Amino acid sequence: MFKKGFLNSLANRFKADTCGNVAIIFALATVPLLIAAGSAVDMARAHIVQTRLQAALDAGALAAASSPGLTDEERIKAGKTVFNANYPEEKLGTPATPIFDIEDGKVIASVDANLPTTIMNVAGIEKLDVSTSTEITIPSLKDGEVVLVLDYSGSMNSKGKYQTMRDSAIKLIETLTEEGENEEVKFGLVPFSHHVYTTLPKNYVANQTGSGSWTGCTYDRLYPLNTKSTTPNVEDDDTKWGIEVDDPHNDWGCNGYISRGLEVRPLTDDHFGTIAQLNDMSPYAWTNIALGMEFGWHLLTPNAPYTQATSGNDEVVKAIVLLTDGRQTQKSWGPNGSRTVANGEENLETMCTSIKNEGILVITVAFDLQDEDTEDRLRDCATNPDEFFYIAETNAQLVSSFDAITKQLAKAVYISK
């Protein structure tokens, strides 16, 4: 048996020994640090879940709102079906059954989800609650005016490119117009190559006299009018289209446009006629992107010579979809009477800025485009490069791009907030 003095001495020595204190304190301090790091990971996972939930809920609500001729119960069923297809059970997070209601002409949808935590459960937080909602108006509280500015230069003849563009554009029109029945959405076409072939009043075409209309091929107006959407001055030929230029491409005359159906089509609710023209058109000659954009812009303004567009109505969604597969190869008018390809590139940039400033949605597509400068120019031209600029290197990617564009245009017309 130990003596009392020996035990007291041993206890005092243990009490005085501090060799392990630092390790113990460090271990205790590590716990909250690990929880904090884990919280960041779990919150990032929660953000991913919310983003995916929002996309699935928007898709479901859009399907419920845009499907024609359905009862409220059928709309709700359609919304849930599309949501479940876009957010299957195996995705990160466990969603509850989404709630869809029809109120005041809107589809109102919401959904909650539970996300099991990883590190945060050490602190007793076993799950995170994620929720989102959306509202979409049932058609049609907003009208739509959409101009398709499409590259029909000769290079679109290869690899079945123009056929894929044509079929994708037709599908877009059919979807947004509910198989041609929705007259609240209008479409216009600007098929461009080195010329644009169109019909204009004679008093807006240089060197024309008398009344009536003129139909033919034209280049751009003189600078800077080729970067504006103003109406020509009937008293001044220098403000009009049809200015004569010395250009070898003039030998590729209007007959090629006529035989291939390449004519500007102003905004119209005759959707079957628009689709018929798309089916009839085929490519020809060179590339003049700036000229196509110039006429696309004119179609969306109420200024003469095209007067089909509405004016000053915030409830009308106006959009241009610009697609090209090549760089600018045609000369355009610029400062001091110059006429160069570089002018055309700079004019496109100027127009894109002005068009966006007018509140027109600009969506651009680089299709099998092997030119980095033009690709950058199209990216900058889009309303939001991250959202409204597309690169499609193959026909399959173009189909996917047009599917996304269709959803964006439908969302612009129908989603209220």
pLDDT on residue 115: 76
Amino acid symbol at 124: G
Residues 194 and 90 in one domain: no
Taking the CA atoms of 283, 284, 289 and 295 in sequence, report the sign of the dihedral they define. negative
pLDDT at 1: 44
Burial of 100 (0-12, 13-18, 19+ CB in 10 A): buried
Rounded to whole angstroms, the Cα distance separating 265 from 196 reads 11
Residue 136: CB atoms within 10 Å: 26
With cut-offs at 50, 70 and 90, classify the pLDDT of residue 130.
confident
Average pLDDT estimate for 172-190 = 89
Find out whether 79 and 98 touch, Cβ atoms under 8 Å: yes
> 155 with 122, same domain?
no
Q: How far is CA 44 from CA 51, 93, 349, in A?
A: 11, 12, 38
| pLDDT tier at 24, thresholds 50, 70, 90 | low
Q: What is the pLDDT of residue 146?
A: 97
For residue 291, is it within any domain? yes
With residue 148 as reference, give the H or E element that holds it. strand 143-151
pLDDT of 30 reads 52
Three-state DSSP class for 265?
strand
Least confident of 2-16, 33-47, 185-199, 373-387: 2-16
Does pLDDT of 2 surpass 70?
no
Same domain membership, residue 202 and residue 105: no
Tell me if 7 is assigned to some domain.
Answer: no
- In this structure, the answer to whether residues 189 and 289 fall within a common structural domain is yes
- Work out the average pLDDT over 159-164: 98
Burial of 354 (0-12, 13-18, 19+ CB in 10 A): middle
Tokens of 347: 């004019």
Q: What is the mean pLDDT of residues 278-290?
A: 97
pLDDT at 139 over 70: no
Beta strand pairing call for 127-137 and 106-116 = antiparallel
- 120, 137, 154: which is the final residue of a domain? 137
> How many other β-carbons are positioned within 10 Å of the β-carbon of residue 121?
14
Residues 203 and 115 occupy one common structural domain: no
Is residue 4 a part of any domain in this protein? no
- The model's pTM is 0.71
The yes-or-no verdict on residue 341 having pLDDT over 50 is yes
Q: What's the rounded mean pLDDT across residues 40-49? A: 77
- Report residue 366: phi and psi, to 5°: -95, 110
H-helix segments, 161-222: 161-176
Both 160 and 298 in one domain: the answer is yes
- Are 277 and 199 members of one domain? yes
DSSP 289-311: HHHHHHHHHHHTSSSTT---S--
When pLDDT is cut at 50, 70 and 90, the band that residue 245 belongs to is: confident
Last residue of a domain, one of 137, 153, 178: 137
> Residue 34 corresponds to which tokens in the numbers above?
């690990």
- Which comes out higher in pLDDT, residue 364 or 8? 364
Residue 317 domain flag: yes
Given a cut of 70, is residue 12 above it in pLDDT? no
CA distance 152 to 287: 8
**Residue-wise DSSP of 356-397:** HHTT-EEEEEEES---HHHHHHHHHHSSSHHHHEEEE-SHHH
399: helix, strand or coil: helix
Residues 6+ apart with CB under 8 A from 33: none
One domain for residues 187 and 132: no
Pair (267, 346) in one structural domain: yes
CA atoms within 13 Å, Cβ hemisphere of 132: 20
Q: Does 160 lie in the same domain as 125?
A: no
Read off the CATH number of the domain in which 133 is found. Answer: 3.30.1300
- CATH number for the domain spanning 396: value is 3.40.50.410
Q: Is residue 227 part of a domain?
A: yes
For the chain, what is the domain count?
Answer: 2
Which of 374, 199, 217 has its CA nearest to residue 284? 217
Domain holding 111, by residue range, is 12-137
pLDDT at 123 over 70: no
Quickly tell me which residue has 């599309």 as its tokens: 82
Section 229-234 average pLDDT: 97
Identify whether 2 is part of a domain.
no
Mean pLDDT of 354-380: 97
91 falls in which pLDDT band (50, 70, 90)?
Answer: low
User: Which position has the higher pLDDT, 415 or 264?
Assistant: 264
- Provide φ and ψ at 106, rounded to 5°: -130, 150
Q: How long a stretch of residues is the chain? A: 417
Given a cut of 60, is residue 246 above it in pLDDT? Answer: yes
The reply to whether 125 and 205 lie within a common domain is no
Whether residue 76 is predicted with pLDDT greater than 80 in this model: the reply is yes
Q: What is the mean pLDDT of residues 351-368?
A: 97
Q: Is the dihedral of CA 281, 285, 289, 293 positive or negative?
A: negative
Residue 57 domain-assigned?
yes
Model confidence at 306: pLDDT above 90? yes
Q: Is residue 5 part of a domain?
A: no
Phi, psi of 72 (to 5 degrees): -60, -40
What is the reported pLDDT for 36? Answer: 56
Where helices occur in 223-300 by DSSP H, the ranges are 255-259, 271-280, 289-299
Residue 398: pLDDT above 70? yes
- Per-residue pLDDT, averaged over 171-195, amounts to 91
Do 55 and 94 reside in the same domain of the chain? Answer: yes
Which of 137, 171, 205 delimits the end of a domain?
137
